Amino acid sequence: MHKPILKWAGGKTRLVPRILEALPAGSRLVEPFCGSCAVSLNAPGYERYWLNDANQPLIQFYTQLDAQGDWLIKQAKDYYAPARNTHSEFEKIRSDFNGNHTAEAFLYLNRHCFNGLWRVNSKGGFNVPYGKYKAPYFPEKEMRHFLEHFNGIANFTVKDFREVFQELALGDVVYADPPYLPLTDTADFTSYTAGGFSLESQKDLAACAEIARDIGVPVIISNHDTPLAREIFGKATKIDSFSVRRSIAAKGSSRGEVKEILAHYLP
């Protein structure tokens, strides 16, 4: 199995085999919330890929890597020099990044910040602190697989997921991995992009999946397994439930097993 380039909260590396087994055959795999691209990077048999996310710097990174290839790998590797793995250098690069979202700085921050988290303030500025890692890994192998796998057959966009669903066509297969519902009533949604992802957005996603199914496009959706999730995605063709160990959490004590679902909307 191929690992993604990025450390990413909610990344699906551990679940890839289960998700791939659930995905029907088709000509194009569509991810409205692509995140780390862990699923698409391991999904063979599709002629094309549509990778979308609301996170503009994320998609900008993928777009630049796709276009610039070896040149960007070389530029990004320079950021991983030991001299740049300091608190002061991190603060400088983060400040520069918030003024000019370069792909090199994005990759540096992802591997040098605390826990590989993506978090922005109310103004949209990246504000995760320095991670103090001794020797952050430079994912050259993963970047080269990305280039080989998506060579000329991937489209990268920054759109609202509702727009993505409106543009689906027969032959598409959708895997949707949205920001999850809270596990408890007292929990809140993580700030993924400035503006967040509301309860109404979850309901809209379910409605979009139902419409896609009606026109012949299969949709698979991931989320926490909670009573509210069961209610929102209750019109799915079927729902699978299983336990998952979290790989990224702000506190190590919270990296336990949680229940998740795959909601299948099948024509």
Place of tokens 């900008």: 60
Nearest to 179 by CA among 199, 194, 197, 161: 197
| Beta pairing, strands 257-265 & 219-224 | antiparallel
Q: DSSP label at 180?
A: P
User: CA end-to-end span of the chain, whole Å?
Assistant: 29
User: Do 215 and 172 touch, CB atoms closer than 8 A?
Assistant: no
How many Å apart are CA 72 and CA 89, to the nearest integer?
20
Question: Pick from 236, 243, 233, 225: which is nearest to 265 by CA?
Answer: 236
Q: Which of 196, 161, 171, 162 is nearest to 52 (CA)?
A: 161
- How far apart are alpha carbons 267 and 215 in whole angstroms? 8
Closest CA to 58 of 116, 2, 19, 15: 116
Q: Looking at the chain, how many residues does it have?
A: 267
- How much is the pLDDT for 234? 98
pTM here?
Answer: 0.92
Structure confidence by residue, pLDDT tens digits, 184-216: 765 554 444 445 788 999 999 999 999 999 999
Distance CA 55, CA 52 (A): 9
Instruction: Give the chain's domains with CATH numbers.
Output: 15-53+159-265 (3.40.50.150), 63-142 (1.10.1020.10)
| Residue 205 parent element (H or E) | helix 199-214
Average pLDDT along the chain, 267 residues, taken 10 residues at a time: 91 89 97 97 96 96 97 98 98 97 97 94 93 97 98 97 98 96 66 67 97 98 96 98 73 70 98
Question: What pLDDT, on a 0 to 100 scale, did the predictor assign at position 185?
Answer: 63
Give φ, ψ of 77 to 5 degrees.
-65, -30
How confident is the model at residue 187, as a pLDDT? 53
- Residue 223, classed as helix, strand or coil, is strand
